Chain A
């Protein structure tokens, strides 16, 4: 389809009444991109301090029908997860992202929980993953794919549990992209370092396709449960997971 490519680009230029832009203008546009200038960003989250941003994140996530539990430290995660599974009548069985950020969770304190680490299969009912960032303005979780964070964990199981450290909460989508660029040295090495998939997740799966009535659990998870771990605060930049 090489010919189609040339025909389309020529038609675009003809309609714009000009030839190719020229090296100088192209360099300007490339510089504009590299500057990552923000457009208008709503003040809803940016006007708050970090503690209030964490509160906003939780309130917005709950408004999108996610459930949220706050836990003091990673050591408390097994008990909180066990209680959550019991309260929802779910089996005590988890598939967990094989990511090092989750290695320190002391699962042995709950020997009845059956744990597997890897990607999700069709039989997995509950998954637990880290996230890359949590975005306060709409209660959105930002997850990235990778060798230790397979995407199937986010969509196949009926229940998805996501672990968020308080210092992963940022104000806006733009802040999330900035953090990702820092983490992958985006500007230095180019776009190919970008993970295959970046998922923004806001609440559980839903549809309104029948009579505009919202039903949760259309094809993705029916439940989205967020654990906010309060051990790390903004400023202690740690490994983000993923």
Chain B
């Protein structure tokens, strides 16, 4: 998809003005994921220690990624499957198409896959005459609306149920127009009934992978709906789309990360379905696909290894960082302008599509640190956002006014005596000008702030001067 990440500020204004989005975001932040996560984490005393283990497992795997990739491939082949390596989205799409053509496929069902979003698979397949059908309820809704996902695990979280009802009425023309579509239950049942024949008719099923187990060549998917399992059980061919960093050595390692995943994502003890698939149907099996393919996508990840953004490769795509992000909660996922929203998206997107295309994303953060504090694999997201800001500055991608302002500030800040003198003058002047109210309704050069709220005036003396005075007093005492 065409990225609009550079327009984060303009996208945000659209999000802030969208009342449905604001209502949906309130529902999520007030009675949704963060609350449920807090409750379920409180019930597992080992949770913090598990985060540390999760980090270690991912770091170990990434440090030996070549070995685990080759071992994984060896075991997929031993189980009767095939592995295809793809450097770019184009290569990955092409492999999918070749497999579909060889299978004579006309319809393809899909479980939720962020890699499919990343490579723009649906558009590509449609242009090639193959109809992809999304089966995850949220993905199905946004496919009907021709929208990208707005959240890692709840792709339609930007909508309220009335919008979903309108979408269904417009798309499902054969159904009685007077049918009630008020509750989530009715909407869910309608999608279930319409998608069931599609599951049974599809020639190829495509799923993502939450983990790839090197030891056995297994792919693991986690779902609550069971759509992923119908997608990979019923068609003749199963294709797994996964990026390189999904590898883990063993099922023991997967077990540790799975203990973190559902709790961090939806606040469940465990998702309804965790499925490990290894190769195609065995002799004597009564069901399951006859062919099993894995497409391993690089798309920039091999370059991230060993660099300052390598920690991002630990990400297990739980969405906790965006669930707890004050910026995401204000503007929603579409403002980020590409596939991955929220703090993880603000770090990952520049790595995948380039800082030039994603220049404003590293600024889509207050650096408050909540994302890092809930990350199940302890990714230092604020630190990496700062790295991107430095690059954005160095590559002159930020607006000239910012850059000049920052340069001026840096010049002054490197001269402590001048800095303290100026800070003292500025805070005394502002403190005096603030008057008895102690606030400004408007200030020159600060309309961005005072346009929406008052600016508090400094109290007249700087922290440094108070500190110095205190030190002097303490020295006397």
Residues of A within 8 A of B (CB): 1-2, 4-5, 7-9, 11-17, 20-21, 25-26, 29-30, 32-33, 36-40, 42-44, 60, 63-64, 118-119, 122, 138-140, 145-147, 150-152, 154-156, 172-174, 177, 190-192, 194-213, 215, 217-221
Query: Looking at the complex, which one of A36, A38, A151, A210 makes contact with B184 (CB distance below 8 Å)?
Result: A210
B49 touches A177 (CB 8 A): no
A interface footprint on B69-98 (CB within 8 Å = 1, 0 otherwise): 111000100111000111100010001000
- B contact residues around A37 at 8 Å (CB): 252
Chain B proximity of A59: nearest CB distance (Å):
11
Query: Looking at the complex, which one of A5, A14, A43, A155 makes contact with B226 (CB distance below 8 Å)?
Result: A155
Chain B proximity of A213: nearest CB distance (Å):
5
What is the bound-complex CA distance between A215 and B189, given in angstroms? 9
Q: Nearest CB to that of B200 among chain A residues?
A: A122
Query: Looking at the complex, which one of B78, B79, B229, B286 makes contact with A119 (CB distance below 8 Å)?
Result: B286
B224 touches A12 (CB 8 A): no
A interface footprint on B383-396 (CB within 8 Å = 1, 0 otherwise): 00000000000000
A150 touches B227 (CB 8 A): no
Q: Nearest CB to that of A151 among chain B residues?
A: B233
B87 touches A39 (CB 8 A): no
Interface locus among B298-306, B424-432, B456-464: B298-306
Chain B proximity of A68: nearest CB distance (Å):
16
- B contact residues around A210 at 8 Å (CB): 137, 141, 156, 159, 161, 164, 184, 187-188
Determine if B203 is an interface residue (Cβ-Cβ < 8 Å). no
Known interface pairs A138-B270, A191-B217, A207-B188; A151-B287 also in contact (CB < 8 Å): yes
B215 touches A33 (CB 8 A): yes
B272 touches A40 (CB 8 A): no
- Name the interface size band of chain B: 35 or more
Known interface pairs A15-B302, A16-B65; A218-B227 also in contact (CB < 8 Å): yes
25 CB-based A-B contacts, threshold 8 Å: A2-B85, A11-B303, A12-B69, A16-B65, A20-B66, A29-B64, A118-B286, A145-B282, A150-B285, A154-B229, A155-B229, A173-B251, A177-B252, A191-B75, A196-B277, A196-B281, A198-B275, A199-B229, A200-B270, A200-B273, A202-B269, A205-B272, A207-B225, A210-B184, A219-B196
Chain B proximity of A146: nearest CB distance (Å):
7
Chain A proximity of B63: nearest CB distance (Å):
7
A147 touches B284 (CB 8 A): yes
A9 touches B306 (CB 8 A): no
Interface locus among B4-12, B124-132, B253-261, B372-380: B253-261
B274 touches A200 (CB 8 A): yes
Query: Looking at the complex, which one of B95, B187, B286 makes contact with A147 (CB distance below 8 Å)?
Result: B286
B224 touches A206 (CB 8 A): yes
Determine if B122 is an interface residue (Cβ-Cβ < 8 Å). no
Chain B proximity of A182: nearest CB distance (Å):
14
- B contact residues around A20 at 8 Å (CB): 66
A1 touches B91 (CB 8 A): yes
Known interface pairs A17-B306, A173-B258, A207-B137; A145-B227 also in contact (CB < 8 Å): no
Query: Looking at the complex, which one of A5, A43, A173 makes contact with B255 (CB distance below 8 Å)?
Result: A173
Known interface pairs A40-B50, A145-B285, A210-B156; A191-B215 also in contact (CB < 8 Å): yes
Chain A proximity of B228: nearest CB distance (Å):
9
- A contact residues around B185 at 8 Å (CB): 215
Chain A proximity of B114: nearest CB distance (Å):
15
A interface footprint on B148-161 (CB within 8 Å = 1, 0 otherwise): 00000011110111
A11 touches B302 (CB 8 A): yes
A1 touches B84 (CB 8 A): yes
Query: Looking at the complex, which one of A16, A38, A197, A198 makes contact with B305 (CB distance below 8 Å)?
Result: A16
Chain B proximity of A48: nearest CB distance (Å):
15
B252 touches A16 (CB 8 A): no
From B66, B185, B196, B278, residue with most partner A Cβ within 10 Å: B66
- A contact residues around B86 at 8 Å (CB): 1, 4
From A17, A36, A37, A201, residue with most partner B Cβ within 10 Å: A201
Other A-B pairs beyond A173-B255, A196-B279, 20, CB < 8 Å: A1-B84, A1-B95, A8-B296, A8-B298, A9-B69, A9-B70, A15-B304, A15-B307, A29-B64, A33-B250, A140-B270, A147-B285, A192-B78, A198-B218, A202-B274, A209-B156, A211-B160, A212-B32, A218-B225, A218-B226
- B contact residues around A30 at 8 Å (CB): 71
Query: Looking at the complex, which one of A25, A33, A64, A194 makes contact with B278 (CB distance below 8 Å)?
Result: A194
Determine if B44 is an interface residue (Cβ-Cβ < 8 Å). yes
- B contact residues around A204 at 8 Å (CB): 272
B67 touches A21 (CB 8 A): yes
Q: Nearest CB to that of A160 among chain B residues?
A: B226
Q: Nearest CB to that of B57 among chain A residues?
A: A39
B135 touches A219 (CB 8 A): yes
Determine if B235 is an interface residue (Cβ-Cβ < 8 Å). no
Determine if B31 is an interface residue (Cβ-Cβ < 8 Å). yes
Chain A proximity of B90: nearest CB distance (Å):
11
Determine if B365 is an interface residue (Cβ-Cβ < 8 Å). no
Chain B proximity of A32: nearest CB distance (Å):
7
Known interface pairs A11-B302, A155-B226; A202-B64 also in contact (CB < 8 Å): no
Determine if B230 is an interface residue (Cβ-Cβ < 8 Å). yes
- B contact residues around A64 at 8 Å (CB): 268-270, 272
What is the bound-complex CA distance between A210 and B161, given in angstroms? 6
What is the bound-complex CA distance between A214 and B322, given in angstroms? 20
Q: Nearest CB to that of B276 among chain A residues?
A: A198
Q: Which 7 A-B pairs have the closest CB atoms?
A: A220-B226, A218-B225, A147-B284, A11-B302, A15-B305, A209-B138, A212-B32
